[in-house]
Amino acid sequence: MLADAKDVFMLAKKIGVELNISSCNFLLKCLAEGDKLEAVRSLFDDLKNSGPSPNVYTYTIMINFYCKERHGQNIDLEHASQILEEMEKKGETPTVVTYGVYIHGLCRVGSIEDARNKIQDLRSSNQPLNIYCYNAAHSGVLPKRQTR
């Protein structure tokens, strides 16, 4: 039914229905959870190009999407980083959740030093951090438990 939902979205836009970004974010999140890579990219591009304009939640959904391994797809930290930069350039202030998701993505790909540096940058600029940010970096540096 995700394809149907995307079709309804496109039809609504075509006939001039003004869409709410919260509804669009819900659809985007559902597509992301369903691993619909092309549909996620298409909807995100459509929001950027013809509205409603993405908000902090939209960008966080996208960063989270690229910071997770999916069926046959590796973490795409390059895209996640681009989206975070774009978000900041557009004047959207990342939340603690946004940063936490990104830092966790860095750790998942083994970029522990980059995660530490990001945390340090955020701390020095008084940006919001929570335990999720620290846990991601901390768990990435702990040695794996050996089994006997």
Nearest one of 59, 43, 34 to 9, comparing CA atoms:
43
pLDDT, tens only, 24-67: 999 999 999 988 888 899 999 999 998 899 999 999 999 999 99
| Burial status of residue 45 (CB atoms within 10 A of its CB: 0-12, 13-18, 19 or more) | exposed
pTM equals: 0.83
End-to-end alpha carbon distance in the chain: 47
| Judgement on whether residues 83 and 139 belong to the same structural domain of the protein | yes
| Judgement on whether residues 89 and 123 belong to the same structural domain of the protein | yes
Measure the CA–CA gap between 18 and 84, rounded to whole angstroms.
27
- 12 token code pair: 């609504």
Q: Is residue 19 part of a domain?
A: yes
Position 146 confidence tier, pLDDT thresholds 50, 70, 90: very low
Count the domains in the chain.
2
The per-residue pLDDT for 51 is 85
Query: SS3 of 74, please?
Result: coil
Q: Is the model more confident about 136 or about 37?
A: 37
Q: What angle do CA 4, 87, 39 make, to 5 degrees?
A: 20
Q: Which residues pair with 70 in a beta bridge?
A: 73
- 18 token code pair: 């003004």
Q: Is residue 80 part of a domain?
A: yes
| Judgement on whether residues 138 and 80 belong to the same structural domain of the protein | yes
Q: Is residue 67 part of a domain?
A: no
- Judge if the upstream peptide bond of residue 52 is cis by omega within 30 degrees of 0: yes
Measure the CA–CA gap between 60 and 70, rounded to whole angstroms.
17
Q: Is residue 96 part of a domain?
A: yes
Q: Is residue 17 part of a domain?
A: yes
pLDDT, tens only, 68-124: 877 666 889 999 999 999 999 999 989 888 988 999 899 888 888 888 888 888 888
Residue 20: give the domain boundaries.
1-54
Q: Is residue 124 part of a domain?
A: yes
